[in-house]
């Protein structure tokens, strides 16, 4: 009987090791979500509804040269890493002065040294910008690029509600930030 229990314990230990190897390790560019209102996921007030939700991946700078190198100037970039950013609005909004109907869009940028072109596209659910097709653009607009005094280590997107149905969407990485006006 003792031998049977010993063999059973060894088998259970082995099977646990086998199953634990089925799960991938933490992604090097973990996925995150940004909401408008910014506190929506954490401190939601009763009856409050999300206006915009953005799914994106957060690569780290890790001492690398970001803009002009990893995110090439004057080329379509997926904003971050992995899958193309998904911009979802639950109501009609104005983004960068352009009217956007409620719905889900992929979001890209064409970074430049002084300004970025921001793109919302109707194609969804694909990796990177490799399948990007300009013919499916919903809107394009430009915003100035700003230099930051401090390094933002991980690619970040955040909304700030300015009141009076106005907000700003900030996209930052390394020492660069763009601010996109939003009205709802």
Residue 117's pLDDT band (cuts 50, 70, 90): very high
Cis upstream peptide for 133 (omega within 30°): no
Report the length, in residues, of the chain: 184
- Summarised one tens digit per residue, pLDDT across range 23-45 is 877 778 999 999 998 766 555 55
Cis upstream peptide for 122 (omega within 30°): no
- Distance (Å, whole) CA 166 – CA 160: 9
All structural domains of the chain with their residue ranges? 26-183
* Segment 129-133 mean pLDDT: 92
- Specify the pLDDT at position 145: 98
């Amino acid at each position: 009987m003792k031998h049977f229990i010993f063999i059973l314990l060894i088998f259970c230990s082995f099977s646990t090791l086998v199953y634990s190897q089925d799960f991938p390790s933490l992604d090097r560019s973990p996925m995150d979500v940004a909401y408008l209102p910014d506190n929506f996921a954490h401190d939601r007030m009763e009856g409050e509804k999300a206006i915009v939700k953005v799914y994106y991946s957060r690569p780290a700078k890790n001492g690398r040269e970001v803009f002009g190198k990893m995110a090439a100037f004057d080329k379509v970039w997926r904003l971050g890493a992995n899958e193309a950013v998904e911009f979802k609005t639950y109501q009609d909004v104005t983004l960068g002065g352009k009217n956007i109907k409620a719905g889900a869009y992929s979001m890209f940028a064409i970074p430049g040294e002084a300004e970025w072109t921001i793109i919302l596209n109707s194609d969804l659910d694909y990796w990177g910008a490799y399948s990007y097709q300009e013919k499916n653009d919903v809107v394009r607009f430009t915003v100035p690029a700003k230099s930051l005094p401090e390094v933002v280590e991980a690619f970040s997107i955040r909304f700030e509600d300015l009141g009076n149905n106005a907000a700003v969407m900030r996209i930052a990485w390394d020492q660069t930030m763009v601010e996109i006006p939003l009205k709802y």
